[in-house]
Amino acid sequence: MQQQELIPHLFRTEFGRITAVLCKLFGFDNVSVAEDIASETFLAALNTWPYKGIPENPQAWLYAVAKNKAKNSLSRNQLFKEKVSPAIQAEHPAEDVMEIDLTDRNISDSQLQMLFAVCHPSIPPEAQIGLALRILCGFGIDEIAHAFLSNKETINKRLFRAKEKLRTEHIKLEFPAESELNTRLQNVLTTLYLLFSEGYYSETENEILRKDLCEEAMRLTKMLIDYTLTNKPEVNALFALMCFQASRFAARKDKNGEVMLYDDQDESMWDKQLITIGVTHLGMAAQGSYLSKYHLEASIAYWHTIKADTPEKWENILHLYNHLLSIEYSPVAALNRTYALAKVKGKEAAIIEAEKLNLSNNPFYHTLLGELYKDIDLLKAKGHLINALHLAKTDTDKKTIYAKIEAL
């Protein structure tokens, strides 16, 4: 990997690891100190590597510099010594404070504990995702703002308020007690599900950013699977869902950047290895009696890895949507169910169900009705597609809808 690519890559992978370990040591009161030390470590790399060359082990070099900078903060900064050290010393012997543990095991534990901390119920969901992206995934404020189609000022305020909440609630970096682990795990899974969705269904045009969001959600979910107490069926089901969805990432756009709808995708571009991994984890999820929405969504996504347009496929998908809506209703799932209904019972039956939803401000609602009406009532089909065109938020979606209008 070239030097200009290596440092951004390492920032993405190592910033969160260094920050999590230091934050575990310093406490949430001083998360900004931990972030500053991690940032200064990478600044040192930027200032040193172009002249002295890339070290033989770049990761070890970063960890050594981070340790030295953290020790310097503890021993030389008087304000830090007076205000931070007493709090740290109350929980850690002096020799532990000066021996910063950046072993793989402690990094993994620290990141998982950080994940549970930022997903604390007192933190709003959007702020949870923002904190996870910033502290655990090494995303810059600009990138987070872009992902949320927001601005830096809004994101900075959101993260500041979230960090203040963590501080005032005295939330520690530790695994929840076993009695509350399952409850807290649901918050964590919701955040990871939303993080993945933010990438997979993102309205940003930045293809690299969208893929990065998905990959970070998958990495954090895999960490939960690798930890014995959180290796639960619903975690495996969520990971399977992510694998199935991510397997089609490369096929979702053509060489001109135009969106490729599912029916038009080149199946040879699907990642077969990811599909196989997804099948394995869906099998691992089939333990116990608890059926989560992730089980059902993963099963629906599995059937979409089979391109053949068979009655069995759509009958299974419709059954799964019916079950999903019975345990957790969502307008998006109801809309998707309508498409499956059209495949099983015909377009007239699907139109009746779709119009009951009355999602008049949703472009996908109008796009679906445009598709359903095109062989029944051209005027209504065109009207819905024009509505969809007005509501669409990205140029890519607008091009796709305009092509459908032209085809009429």
Mean pLDDT computed over 57-76: 88
In-domain check, residue 375: yes
pTM of the model as a whole: 0.87
In-domain check, residue 383: yes
Nearest to 239, CA basis, from 173, 324, 302: 302
Q: Please name every residue paired with 259 in a beta bridge, in sequence order, or none if there are none.
A: 253
Percent of the chain scoring above 70 in pLDDT: 91
pLDDT of 45 over the 90 cut:
yes
Mean pLDDT computed over 372-397: 92
CA distance linking residue 171 with residue 131, whole number of Å: 14
For residues 350 and 342, the answer to whether their CB atoms sit within 8 Å is yes
**36 CB-contact burial (10 Å; exposed 0-12 / middle 13-18 / buried 19+):** middle
- In terms of average pLDDT, the best of 16-30, 112-126, 333-347 is 333-347
H or E stretch at 25: helix 3-26
Cα distances (angstroms) measured from residue 94 to each of 58, 81, 87, 105: 29, 12, 12, 21
Other beta carbons within 10 Å of 177: 8
Cα distances (angstroms) measured from residue 26 to each of 61, 110, 130, 138: 22, 12, 21, 19
In-domain check, residue 377: yes
Q: How do residues 146-184 score in pLDDT, each as one tens digit?
A: 888 789 999 999 999 998 888 888 888 888 888 888 889
Q: Which domain holds residue 406?
A: 359-408
Other beta carbons within 10 Å of 358: 10
H helix intervals, 77-177: 78-83, 85-89, 94-97, 104-118, 125-131, 141-147, 152-168
For residues 139 and 257, the answer to whether their CB atoms sit within 8 Å is no
Across 139-143, 207-211, 272-276, 305-309, least confident range: 207-211
* Locus of tokens 């308020």: 161
The DSSP call for residue 230 is G
How many structural domains is the chain composed of? Answer: 1
In-domain check, residue 178: no
